Structure 1
């Protein structure tokens, strides 16, 4: 019976992959993910636990990415959740949840889309759990954030940017020939 765990030391590269095998194929993946910053404020405790009115919830999020070198990028998903009642803020949660993404052989537009659409989509479930736990640990029922369509938002932002650029370009007087 053959040992399925052993691979040849020098597998024959697939000609479709080029001379370097899979080394020239586009690839991206998470190296690690982590909480970069977490702030939990419960400014009106213990009075806030006795309020009877339903607080209004405001959820804001932002995505940032930066190159940290050698094909590695840090993607930051920042989420701010504020629950306000008539008597004041019940709680404020600020989270910066990050992932280090290794990328190679990706076209600039593909890399940009991955960093601002796909990577945040993959980070979100973990950030959502951190927010739920933080709200619960502040003494309130866990906050389960609704899923976010990061790809839809990415394309919406891209279309808005192109429209602004086209508008700015149309407003510039043409140079005389």
Structure 2
């Protein structure tokens, strides 16, 4: 006979990964293609989540990559990669780490691919984003919250 008759089974599941929003702009085209340029690329990232019902959450990974030369924006890419996740009978102290670290880890490869494809289709060399340590970023955000600071959008 099973001893877990009263214990609720913990369940974590991925229901869907999808591209929620996508944008590419190249305000200096076509002139940028006729000049020598060595742009600086800045990447900003944010993780946003919302509870859809008692056991379902949407986690959205927002990435913005901006390539600039001196005073001009060469291109701007915005990707919102999202997923729907089921969290059932997960202890409350484990919910935030799942939503803030584990889920973005699952979404990142899809967002990375979308950024790379868009930049390439825009006529520029592919932008391959470096891996991101979401565990460390989550811990950094916790420390900021505990210090009473507003968590910042992460830049790389």
Structures share fold, TM-score greater than 0.5: yes
1:43-79 CA-to-partner distances (Å, cap 9, x unmatched) read 1111111221200101000000001114110000000
Please list the CA deviations of residues 105-164 of structure 1 after superposition, one character each: whole Å capped at 9, or x if unmatched: 011220111001100011101110010001011111111000110001111111222233
Q: Say yes or no: does 1:58 pair with 2:42.
A: yes
Q: What is the distance in 2 between the residues matched to 1:160 and 1:38? A: 29
Aligned residue for 1:164, secondary structure, equals: coil
SS of the counterpart of 1:69?
coil
Q: Tell me if structure 2 keeps the 8 A contact 1:58–1:82.
A: yes
Whether 1:25 aligns to 2:9 is yes
Note the residue ranges of structure 1 that are not aligned, 5 or more in a row.
1-13, 166-177
Identify the match of residue 38 of structure 1 among 1, 17, 22. Answer: 22
1:87 Cα deviation after fit: 5.5
Whether 1:72 and 2:56 are equivalent positions in the alignment is: yes
Picking from 146, 150, 154, the partner of 2:130 is 146
Scaled by the length of structure 2, the TM-score of the pair is 0.89
Is the 1:60–1:79 contact (alpha carbons within 8 Å) kept by the matching residues of 2? Answer: yes
Report the structure number with the largest CA radius of gyration: 1
Structure with the bigger percentage of strand: 2
Q: How many residues align?
A: 149
Q: Please report how far the alpha carbon of residue 42 of structure 1 lies from its aligned counterpart in structure 2 after TM superposition.
A: 1.1
If the length of structure 1 is used for normalisation, what is the TM-score?
A: 0.79
Q: Superposition pairs for residues 1-177 of structure 1, below 5 Å?
A: 15-16=2-3, 18-19=4-5, 24-86=8-70, 88-164=72-148
| Matches of 1:164 and 1:87, distance apart in 2 | 35
